[in-house]
Amino acid sequence: MHNISRNFLLAMTLAIAACGPRSDEPGTSESAMPDPLKKPFAALSAAPPVAEKRPVEIEQHGIKRVDNYGWMRDENWQEVLRDPGKLDAEIRQHLEAENTYYEKASGNLERLREQLFDEMRGRIKEADSTVPAADGDFAYAVRFRDGGEYPIFVRTPRNGGDETILFDGDLEGEGEDFFRIAAVDHSPNHELITYGVDRLGSEYYDIRIRAIETGEEFAETIPSTDGSAVWAADSKSFYYVERDDNQRPKRVKHHIVGTDPTDDLLVYEEPDDSFFLYINKSQSDEYIMIGVRKGTSSEYRYLTADAEPGTEPVRIAPRLEDELYSVEHAGDYFYILTNAGDSVDFKIVRAPVSDPGRDNWEEWLPHEAGTYISGFVTFKDRIVRLERENALPRIVVSDYMQENVYELDFEEAAYNLGLSTGYEFDTSNLRFSYESPSTPEQTFDFDMESRERVLRKTQEVPSGHDPELYVVERIFITADDGAEVPVTVLRLKSTPVDGTAPLLLYGYGSYGATMQAWFSTNILSLVDRGVVYATAHIRGGAAKGRQWYLDGKFDKKKNSFSDFANAAEALQERGYGRKGETVIYGGSAGGLLVGATLNLRPDLFGGAIAAVPFVDVINTISDAELPLTPPEWVEWGDPINDPAAYETIAAYSPYDNIRSDTEYPPVLATGGLTDYRVTYWEPSKWIARMRDEATGGPFFLKMNMDAGHAGSAARFERLKERTHDYAFALKIFGLTEQTPVSHGKAAATHGT
């Protein structure tokens, strides 16, 4: 989930009193706010589908469990990823019945969803464009046209001239049920492009080649790739990653333009299914880097960009368990980010290109506990790193001698920073982005010599946005074991903190992924209705460094769930919401978070949204055939071979720990039929079992029959999908008739 300058500021007007009192009017909030509905779906007349139970007993490590709904996993699931029409008819019938039930149950929310869609679309500048990135004689950009669903990849001469369309996503995707563009990569001589397209949502991308000036399409199609290409220096060939039938990136191949892909040379094949394989080109353009990685180990090989076909890649250092490293290049050295030597929050070493093995690694930037180095970019004369300390990011610029080192300053309580590598290596220009939950994204060019900062673009919100209407807060709550968990809060200044405003709490908490304090035009549709939107930066993510991640995995995974529950309870106690009326929201592994936290403390919540949720954990992580299972044993544990890991996972797996002794709030789960990351049967089984074993609810499943993990790739269709989540939350809050704070133009155009 994923952009331009706001050249006007519309005056703010307040909506009707039901939107909530102003914060400077104490004593009025209790009567002004509508009470959330205790039983928001009490009048529901549609009957849910009843999934047939077909019990299968499973035994692991002498422990038995029964799965009544395992039949929902199509035995031909690999074929379904490539051809959804091959889905078993009985399973399809059940999924369609779930969708029909959801549509009937939520039909009275259709007007609200249309209103939300109008609001969200009204905040998007439709004819948008990225800031062009210079490369040689040209500048490359991505733009959208008014009403267009897909990106258009373009270039213009660097010194001025007519635009050339390299790839028109709207034209190419016309008539497709699903269409996603992985990448459009131009050759070093600027004459050819490769493009990778997925038409099913299964993330098998076909790569094709096209001449830029003539538009000529080359004959060959390279199937089953990750969608991106890394060009060789001569522009006559490129490297790509091929995926196997289990959707695992397994092989790097070398394709010569104009030849049959079946003749492509194998450059490297990864034998270990637990490692992900990827390729990229060094920022200097001198090397092709081949990397393999899992959560606890990595390894790199390299080729020169002008290597002859058939050249064997050179390994930098052999993989070691519990040691990670990644590589960039500048001058005579490879610069290596690593956690070697107990450097939990990482350090940077360098090694001579001529002999880069571990014996020659010399420390360039020492490890500093609590300062997490999340990445870096090399330029000819400088190295720029992105660090995070106590959940706040910073950018640090340094020369290679470390004689001239400085940070860039920012002032808000919570914000997000991003580095753009661009195409150029010999430059003093650094492009970075800045945003916060209330501040639209700004793109800057920064001269690393003069330290001059130039604003190139501010994300424009056509329907109007005034950051001064909002409050962004960074608060810390104390977890059960004393850990201080950061929480980012966004609310209107007029939204009271007295327990009367509804609270939506979002979280993820896995893989060391950090939920940044970014700006989202979509969530304003909630916040402008008086909803407090909070993001809990729980353990399992890396908001406070890698140790924060390590403290939320394996046998410490339950910290993620208790942190989330603690955050909800603490926010409620501080007046940011009310017990039993908070909605929690998370997707993928964040769906696991939602499911497990629901089982832990269902009393805290009034509703839950679990998007493509990873909830059938013990079954999935015990199935070595599934695409992501072997790589994720280092994240969750290996329940096949380790009894302790089995017991840990089985104790929190949401599907296996549904409680019958307490009432659950309403739940909306979503899925995608061609999702290989979280397979469609996980939310399907979970909802079926919730209906059978839990009280409360109701429990809904909305299955996208034409997409995978991320849903639709069309930008407006994505908005429509999001309206279902938000309308569900607003139904829980009793705010389906709530008028959002008006920003002038949106109210005049959309009647909101």
Active-site position among 343, 433, 588, 684: 588
Show the tokens assigned to 283: 């920022």
Q: Which residues lie closer than 8 Å to 607 by C-beta, 6 or more apart?
A: 40, 583, 584, 665, 666, 667, 668, 728, 729, 732
| Helix/strand/coil for 109 | helix
| Options 563, 675, 712, 725, the catalytic residue | 675
Contact of 495 with 501, CB cutoff 8 Å: yes
Sign of the torsion formed by the C-alpha atoms of 203, 207, 210 and 215: negative
Give the three-state DSSP class for 727.
helix
**CA distances, 742 to each of 11, 439, 525, 751 (Å):** 9, 18, 11, 9
Is 675 among the catalytic positions?
Answer: yes
Question: Is 588 designated active site?
Answer: yes
Q: Three-state secondary structure along 227-271?
A: CCCEECCCCCEEEEEEECCCCCEEEEEEEECCCCHHHCEEEEECC
Question: What is the rounded distance in angstroms from the CA atom of residue 752 to the CA atom of residue 738?
Answer: 9
Structure tokens belonging to residue 744: 């002038």
The DSSP code for 570 is H
**Residues near 13 by Cβ (< 8 Å), separated by ≥ 6?**
742, 744, 747
Q: Which of 540, 516, 546, 642 is nearest to 596 (CA)?
A: 540
How far is Cα 351 from Cα 334, in angstroms, rounded to an integer? 5
399 phi and psi angles, rounded to 5 deg: -80, 170
Query: Residue 18: CB partners within 8 Å, gap ≥ 6?
Result: 32, 33, 34, 737, 738, 739
Catalogue the active-site residues. 588, 675, 709
